[in-house]
Amino acid sequence: MTSSPDLLANPSTERYRLGRLLGNGGFGDVHEAWDPALQRSVAIKRLKPDLVRDQPDNLLQEARLAASLRHPAFIQIYSLEDDGHSKSIVMELVGGKTLHQLLATTKLARDQILDIVCQLADAMAQAHAAGLIHGDLKPANLMIEPSGQVRIMDFGLARKIDPLATESGDVLQTQGTIAYLAPEILNGKHPNTLSDIYAVGVLMYEMMHGERPFAHLHGLALAAAQVQSSCAKWTFALDADQDMVALVRAMCAPDPSTRIPTMMEVQQTARSLYRAGTHTAPSLPTVPNLAAVSGPSPINRRRITYSALVLILLLIGAFITSLSGSNNLPRQWIPSVSDAARMSNGMAALRHFDRDGSLDIATENFEAILAKQPEHAAAMAGMAIAYALRYAGDRSDASWLQRADASAQMALALNDQLALGYAAKSLVRWQQNRNEESLKFSQQALQLDPSNLFALNTKNGALLDLQRYSEAELSINKAREAHPTERLFIDQIGDLRFREHDYIRAEQAFRQSIDVDPDAVYAYANLSAALIRQGRDTEALQILQQGLQVRPNGQLYSNLGAALFNREDYVGAAKAFQHAVSASKGTSIAYLRWANLADTLRWIPGREQDSQQAYRNAAAILRPLLKQSPDNATNVSRMGLYAAKLGDKTTAFLMSQKAVTTDADNPNIRFRAAVAYEIIGRRDDALNELSSAQRLGYPTKLIGTEPDLLALRSDPRFDLLRMERE
């Protein structure tokens, strides 16, 4: 017998002698254990700390509710332990196999199936009578003991501890939770007693046939089939017992109002069918291995966090919108498996490219079309856009842009009258910083389809990058007329105002963007930047926290770091920037984020070498971009600043001088040049550039908080500059 040092170190569980690891899942590890005080074997499930979302009193209440259910199908909970850092459930150790394991090796007889249904329905009838539902009945959550006794696992635990977790693995796989959800749940209704009945019906079908309905489908295709089809059309074996078929159909009726209404009626019907046969008591195969199960933690319907609803919103609703310009989901939207619907779904997912998983959804739909129709020009163009957006999010892999370019060319070769093909080509050229060519392709797309969203977006972006602001404003306004509720163009107005240094109007635009789509985290990042430029750091921090509550995002962490840096909280800023360059919460190939981290580490004692390495990382990422676009004044000025901080005075001077000459009216470039000159010992040049930056509107507060200008701010000539500004 082995022990777990981690668990044994906890005062609340040290009385138990821990044995082998029985399993682990979304909630935590489960160990077999021996209780020497009571001389019995138990199972201990230690819950992951980050998954325990409720107060301890609430979890204790749920354990008490579970313990109140006396049916033998429910696992006994012995205690709920708390060591101050995590919680552990001590529960009954049950021998047997899950129904999922059993069906993988055994074909169940008619009376065995009916006996399992009887036990399950009888237990759930008691739970429903107590006002409790399960909401996640599936083969992996049912244990069959060697005696044939059914035991119900994870009663409500997934919803209480982690609304997205399941013990069976990836919910998109064929054995995942989604396969047992009733159609009304997939349409956004709350789990209820009738949805539990539906799940029992699917389980009964699976026991009869060895596989669930639509076993060949998963993910969105499975969800579509379950909602669009009816159990009346399910395929049953030719020799299937027709009374059992009728019971399955009664439990799985697509309209809940026509479904068999209670678990007690399910139990009574199954019991009558069982008794109608001439047979002896069922004998299930011997299953000697032990498996630990989590005790029931039923959830009161009035207080439940509905896992099924959250799940389906994540799988379907978060990324799919109609193509009419509305950001709101159709009330009864369900993805279809037709090519036309796949194309629509893929394009809708692309519109929300900044959402986690949206590009995967788009690619999955386009690939499904191309697998059947390799010369489908629109799907090829969609793939090109998806590839280009992947490159935009992770510039470390140039192959994405190469694939995007090849796919766009192929789309146009297949159909040179397809607006989407030209839009894809325009996006590729924009990502390549070939803005004039991008404009040409976007114009070709708009001649064929004047309201094409992607062509309008890239046209506006190219005009902004070319600093043709008057044209950009006209183009953005026309785009907003064509798509009045599309947040992308509201963001572009904010971007335009920010570039014009009109931070108040930029703030207004970004707030409007959040109102239109509160789940788009980039608007929070942009709004925080506008607030920082106005010296409203406290408000910026509040906005960033709102964005992080939506979802972690590298740009949010980057802006959080900037806000904390301005408050001289260098340790906090460094932590934020480290998140921004991490693979899990940001990206490691954004040179600006590495530079921000480097700037911050310089002011933390003992981190000088780390700072230098971060600057080297930033310069290494920026160098190929400069080679590609040598006249990009912004990037040139940044390379000059990084060179100064790395001690390369010659490169710092030449790069800064070139940037100022190329774009003399940009206050950001003037300010970076001032800092670079100060670092390399050119105080006079630094003061001159600082004067220009102030005159062009660079915020006085940011000048006053820049650590590299600390010595310069003690120069009497700086006081003269400040007085001139005032």
Q: How far apart are CA 45 and CA 645, in angstroms?
A: 52
Comparing 21 with 633, which gets the higher pLDDT? 633
The whole-number pLDDT of residue 27 equals: 58
Residues 6+ apart with CB under 8 A from 456: 442, 446, 475, 478, 479, 482, 483, 489
Ranking 5-14, 29-38, 463-472, 624-633 by mean pLDDT, the lowest is 5-14
For the chain, give the number of residues: 726
pLDDT over 90 percentage in the chain: 39
With H, G, I as helix, E, B as strand and everything else as coil, classify residue 80.
Answer: strand
Residue 611 φ then ψ, to 5°: -65, -45
The whole-number pLDDT of residue 494 equals: 94
Looking at residue 313, what DSSP letter applies? I
List the one residue out of 595, 606, 622 whose CA is nearest residue 708. Answer: 595
Active site residue 82: no
User: Is pLDDT above 80 for 338?
Assistant: no
Q: How far apart are CA 198 and CA 252, in angstroms?
A: 5
Q: Which whole-number Å values give the CA distances from 394 to 119, 347, 575, 577, in the listed order?
A: 53, 21, 21, 17
Q: How far apart are CA 381 and CA 378, in angstroms?
A: 5
User: Is pLDDT above 80 for 223?
Assistant: no
pLDDT category at 446 given cuts 50, 70, 90 is: very high
The whole-number pLDDT of residue 333 equals: 32
> What would the pLDDT profile of 449-461 be if each residue is shown by its tens digit?
999 999 999 999 9
**How large is the average pLDDT for residues 419-447?**
94
Q: How far apart are CA 674 and CA 661, in angstroms?
A: 14
Q: Which of 29, 136, 354, 517 is catalytic?
A: 136
Q: Quote the pTM value.
A: 0.47
With H, G, I as helix, E, B as strand and everything else as coil, classify residue 320.
Answer: coil
Mean pLDDT, rounded, of the chain: 80
CA count, 13 A, side-chain hemisphere, 661:
7
Residue type, 119: Q
> What would the pLDDT profile of 381-414 be if each residue is shown by its tens digit?
999 999 998 887 655 456 778 888 888 988 999 9
Helix axes 453-465, 469-482, angle to 10 degrees: 160
Ranking 119-128, 151-160, 358-367, 683-692 by mean pLDDT, the lowest is 151-160
Residue 21 φ then ψ, to 5°: -75, 120
User: Is pLDDT above 80 for 168?
Assistant: no
Q: How far apart are CA 56 and CA 84, in angstroms?
A: 10
**How large is the average pLDDT for residues 709-719?**
89
Comparing 291 with 272, which gets the higher pLDDT? 272
Ranking 158-172, 203-217, 610-624 by mean pLDDT, the lowest is 158-172
User: Is pLDDT above 70 for 91?
Assistant: yes
Ranking 507-511, 532-536, 717-721 by mean pLDDT, the lowest is 717-721
Q: Which residues are annotated as a binding site for ATP?
A: 45
Cβ–Cβ under 8 Å, residues 341 and 335: yes
Complete domains list, the chain, with CATH: 17-92 (3.30.200.20), 97-277 (1.10.510.10), 629-725 (1.25.40.10)
Residue type, 116: I
The whole-number pLDDT of residue 26 equals: 52
Beta strands in 192-298 (DSSP E): 290-292
* Segment holding 649, helix H or strand E: helix 649-662
Residues 6+ apart with CB under 8 A from 692: 664, 667, 670
The whole-number pLDDT of residue 278 equals: 42
* Mean pLDDT comparison of 390-404, 416-430, 609-623, highest-scoring range: 416-430
The whole-number pLDDT of residue 301 equals: 32
The whole-number pLDDT of residue 484 equals: 87
The whole-number pLDDT of residue 68 equals: 67
Bridge partners (DSSP) of residue 82 are 87
> What would the pLDDT profile of 14-52 be if each residue is shown by its tens digit?
678 888 887 665 556 788 888 888 888 888 887 766 555
**How large is the average pLDDT for residues 350-369?**
82
Q: How far apart are CA 324 and CA 512, in angstroms?
A: 20
Q: Which residues are annotated as a binding site?
A: 45
pLDDT category at 64 given cuts 50, 70, 90 is: low
Looking at residue 718, what DSSP letter applies? H
Rg (CA), the chain: 31
Q: How far apart are CA 373 and CA 458, in angstroms?
A: 28
Query: According to the 3-state scheme, what is the secondary structure of 392-424?
Result: HHCCCCCHHHHHHHHHHHHHHHHCCCCHHHHHH
Comparing 431 with 316, which gets the higher pLDDT? 431
* Mean pLDDT comparison of 112-126, 619-633, 695-709, highest-scoring range: 112-126
Token couple for 69: 């259910």
Cβ–Cβ under 8 Å, residues 530 and 507: yes
Q: How far apart are CA 178 and CA 222, in angstroms?
A: 8
